Amino acid sequence: MNLLTREELKVLSEQRGDSCISIFMPTRRSGDDATQGRIRLKNLLRVAREQLIAGGVRSRNAGQMLNPIRRLIGITPFWQYQGDGLAVFLADGFLRCYKVPMAFVELVVVAQRFHLKPLLPLLFDDGQYYVLALSQKKVRFFECTRYSAKEVALEGVPQNLEEAVRLDEPRKQLQVHTGAGAAIFHGHGGGIDNAKTQLTQYFRQIDHGLNQLLKSDAAPLVLAGVDYLFPIYREVNTYTSLCIDEGISGNPDEQKAAELKAKAWDLVAPQFKKQHDDCLARYRQLAGSGLTSNDVRVVAEASFRGRVDLLFVGVGIQRWGRFNEENGRMDLHDEFQPGDEDLLDWAAIQTLRNGGKVFAVTPSEVPEGTSLAAVFRF
């Protein structure tokens, strides 16, 4: 079982093949309903087999290709601990499964790429944010969305204040011998000033490691810790998207990842809503200027050319067709045909790969009630 992250999405988006199989289904968290989940997956495998055969795969070969997924049906522990939804991706020599906290509508797609649009709300719709849990005994860093929290290691960062002071001791000794800056360092005693100096050094090392990891990222960062630590960390912070005004108060060592994620979400949710509303207002302001479109053909091709800066795309609906990258030809079909892919999915992934922003929303939330709407860079 794999953890769904943006890095995983990138891996999925880079897969290519004649038969990339994507399966989405709702599940129940309770293990008591495992039988229903097994039956549902078995039925979806029949749909996948039919699509493979319709695409030219021999009946026997189609069954063999699906064996890696079919084996999951008989693995009891796999079904005992589910989320609200299950996504399975299979290609030649490649298998990924994701249990996620969001129910999917049943869907099977066999194409030359994986179908990824149902995953986007988990990673992009509500945005990504971070939680930095600070205490003198421990530092933890979490990559979060509204639905998930993943702890990420900070390379080269001391794990606690004691380690930070020990790592800093050789530098202090050098300063003592050279007479450079020795006045602010005290090996023993020093009271409140010395404690603040040690915390400042500790937090400065954390800030450095954080920026090495995040680089040019601009996702919000929420601090968690006892109140007196916040102003000390903010003095040394160099990450531009730190939430300055608010943090999660209390000892974070006693709080689980899910608790920290939920409390941080309450702080960043208004920020994401404003971002969504601002983008919607931008689309409406530019409508009719030539810098917007809700035509699937126009938007899909523009996304491939790197022209789409902002995209609203409907989840739970598909526009089947094909886009030829070599000659730019596009075919749209009312119903799925072998070799088709969802061009809404295509446009969303191309937009993300070219640095654009995507809001994967319900169809009613797409401007003008269409399946997609885009703002162009030029």
| Tens digit of each residue's pLDDT (9 = 90 or more) over 129-172 | 999 999 999 999 999 988 888 899 998 899 999 998 886 665 54
Q: Percent of the chain beyond pLDDT 90? A: 75
pLDDT in tens, 288-336: 999 999 999 999 999 999 999 999 999 999 999 999 888 889 999 999 9
Residue 53: is its pLDDT beyond 60? yes
Q: Residues with Cβ < 8 Å from 211, sequence gap 6 or more?
A: 238, 239
Mean of pLDDT over the chain: 90
Question: Could you say which DSSP state residue 246 is in?
Answer: -
- The pLDDT value recorded for residue 124 is 81
Strands 221-225 and 308-314: unpaired
User: At 323, is the secondary structure helix, strand, or coil?
Assistant: strand
- The angle at the Cα of 349, spanning 348 to 355, to the nearest 5 degrees, equals 90
Angle, helices 343-353/6-13, rounded to nearest 10 degrees: 120
**Radius of gyration of the chain measured on its C-alpha atoms:** 25
SS3 345: helix
Question: How far apart are the C-alpha atoms of 300 and 321, rounded to whole Å?
Answer: 11
Tell me the pTM: 0.82
| pLDDT digits 0-9 by tens, 348-364 | 999 999 999 999 999 99
* Residue 86 vs residues 5, 28, 103, 106: alpha-carbon distances, Å: 15, 10, 8, 10
**CA–CA distance, 350 with 25 (Å, rounded to integer):** 25
